[in-house]
Structure formats: C-alpha cells, structure tokens
Amino acid sequence: MSTIALFGANGTIGSRILNEALQRGHQVTAVVRDPAKITTSHPNLTVTTGDVLDPASVAAVAKGQDVLVSAVGGGDGPGHIATIKPAAESLVAGLRTLGDAAPRLITVGGAGSLRTPDGTQVWDADGLPEFLLQIMHAHGDALDFYRTVSDVRWTNLSPAATIAPGERTGTYRTGLDDLVTAADGSSRISAEDYAVALVDEIERPAHIGERFTVGY
C-alpha cells in the first residue's frame, strides 16, 4: 500500500480520489486549507493544513510520502488562471527541494488540450463560453509547464470532455493526447471512475513523465 498526500481532497474530484484510495487500503493525508471541511473519517486518513501555492508547504506535506496528488481547482475561469499553473510551478519547486526522496506527482488535468477525431483540440469547438476556455487553457498552460520538467516524476491525468459525479463502474479506456470517445462520439467519464483510473496509476505506474486521459 502507498502513502499518499492529497491536495484538494474536499473537491468534487478530490473527494472521490480520497474515498477510492482509502477503500483500497492506502494511507492518505488530506491537505486542505480548512480541515473542518473534511467530513470523512477513516483509520487510514490524516487531515492536515497546507497551501499548494507555497513550495515550502508542498515540501513539508510531501516529505516521506510515496505519491503527491493535486486535485486543486480554481472555481471560475479567473480562479483557475490564478491557481492551476501557479500550483504546478509550486508543486514542482517544492518537490525539487526533496531531491531523490521526492514522491511521484500526479495532477488532475483538463480536457481542453486533447485532440479530437477531426484533428482539432477540444478548446477549438465553436460556442464555448469564455469562462470554460479560461479553465481549459489554465490546465493547458500547466501541462505545457510539466512537459519542461525532467527532474520530477510527474503524471497529468486529463478527464474525458464531460466529467461529473455518477456511478463507479471500475471500467474505463485510456489514451494519451487524443480524446477518448465512445462509438456515438460522446466523451465522458464519471468522477468516480476517473478516481479509479488515478488510483490505478498510483498502484501500477504507466505514465510517468506524460499526460494520459480516460473515458468510456
């Protein structure tokens, strides 16, 4: 079993990653600004405070862990711009201070930069609202940064075009930079099965130093 530090453990995706990891017997440290917001109780769960935008805080919570997971978001578009790439830079800076003892880094990414079957990218679709484009490009900028990093073992996991709370089926398909679509052209994943895929990556590393994506 792994020891996991998880930023953003009280969010829509982060809470499902937390539950999935605990159900599989991993030791999880939930890193949040307000511990009172974590209502889950489990023998393998520790809750602590931390700031994903502070490299010293990142290093403190990551020290001694096997894996550091970031599921932080930014709420609206401007919030993502202010959070996602700065968090990526902070996470890498914090882990670098730990040298060879640094844990793996797995981060929740976005779908906007994925290639669609017609060769464009998801964020090129007509009619997308500005706030959604801001969210997509914030994740894209973070991914561009990660791809410059060779001294931290990072993985970025992009969801399908649509991700929402739903059913845990335990099944999914993966891709790298191409959107995973079903036969009818739809691209979706439940937040629960996204969490399954992320914890699977913790248990069976297959995408160190790259982005991958999941969908049905």
Spell out the long-range contacts of 40-49 with Cβ–Cβ below 8 A and sequence spacing 24 or more.
Answer: 40/15, 45/18
Mutual angle of helices 77-96 and 55-62, in 10-degree steps: 60
d(CA 164, CA 51): 26
The predicted structure's pLDDT at residue 201: 98
Phi/psi for 105 (5° steps) reads: -120, 125
Query: pLDDT of 169-204, one tens digit each?
Result: 999 999 999 999 999 999 999 999 999 999 999 999
The predicted structure's pLDDT at residue 55: 98
DSSP state, 103?
P
Assign 211 to helix, strand or coil.
strand
Residue 161 has pLDDT above 90, yes or no: yes
Residue 37 has pLDDT above 90, yes or no: no
Query: pLDDT of 122-137, one tens digit each?
Result: 999 999 999 999 999 9
